[in-house]
Amino acid sequence: MCINKDFRLSTFDYRLLTIDYLLSTIMKNIILCGAPGCGKGTQAEFIVAHYGLVHLSTGQMMRREAASGSELGKLIESYTAQGHLVPDDITIRMLEEYISTLPADTKGLIFDGFPRTLNQAVQLERLMKKRGDETAILIDINVPEDELIRRLIERGKISGRADDNLETIKERLVVYHEQTRPVDDYYELHDKYARIQGLGTISEIFGRISRILNKIY
């Protein structure tokens, strides 16, 4: 952008500034929450296709880093392979880095697998406030535990994921109840919580999510 010698902006510069401003939309994000195997990833793909949001799965982010073989990746794998959470400082740093690379006109994010601790939720809201963005709603996908285990065991046969075995699945469920459930309470307290039934066909479940999202987007 060119600035006049006397540091006043030309009409053309003002126009560019206005265009920049209009393009930098406020991001309205949604959080998909629920136990491992509840279908967050599957539903996120449908939401991306229908609402033009960007899918951010911290689990995928972790697996990508682990597959790179980096030192950080090895450290991450030492937690994920046991079904434990990666420490908050690592997760939040990776997430912040990713968000800073998003185009200014990003409509919103679908957080899948984040926030997973109360501390992550507080940090997320702090970051959103700093950026002028907001969390529109947390959608909690509810599935009975025996069905979750069945789905994860089935997935393990194809996915080859090191954490999709019975012992690690049980540990992930314990971690979910102890560390992630309080995140639901946090958003419920802030009137940003919706719970849906996660049993049924993929499109039935997407229909339930759409009824919520159509009021937002």
Catalytic residue list contains 40: yes
Catalytic residue list contains 215: no
Catalytic residue list contains 181: no
Separation of alpha carbons 43 and 38, rounded Å: 10
Residue closer to ligand ADP by CB (options 23, 202) is 202
Q: What angle do CA 114, 119, 121 make, to 5 degrees?
A: 45
Separation of alpha carbons 38 and 172, rounded Å: 13
Separation of alpha carbons 196 and 142, rounded Å: 6
Catalytic residue list contains 170: no
Q: Does residue 80 interact with ligand ADP by CB under 6 A?
A: yes
Which residues ranging from 125 to 184 are in contact with ligand ADP (CB under 6 A)?
A: 163, 172
Catalytic residue among 8, 15, 28, 40: 40
Calculate the dihedral angle through the C-alpha atoms of 98, 104, 105, 109, rounding to the nearest 10 degrees: 20
Cβ-contact 114, 95 below 8 angstroms: yes
Q: Does residue 113 interact with ligand ADP by CB under 6 A?
A: yes
Catalytic residue list contains 126: no
Q: Does residue 79 interact with ligand ADP by CB under 6 A?
A: yes
Catalytic residue among 28, 107, 155, 208: 155
Catalytic residue among 28, 157, 170, 172: 172
Q: Does residue 85 interact with ligand ADP by CB under 6 A?
A: yes
Residue closer to ligand ADP by CB (options 85, 99) is 85
Rounded to a whole number of angstroms, the distance between the first and last alpha carbons of the chain is 33
What is the x/- site pattern for ligand ADP, positions 11-50, by CB under 6 A? -------------------------xx-------------
3 state SS of 137: strand
Nearest to 113 by CA among 22, 32, 208, 12: 32
For ligand ADP, the binding residues (CB under 6 A) are: 36-37, 58-59, 62, 79-80, 83-86, 91, 113-114, 116, 120, 163, 172
Could you give the residue numbers annotated as active site?
40, 116, 155, 161, 172
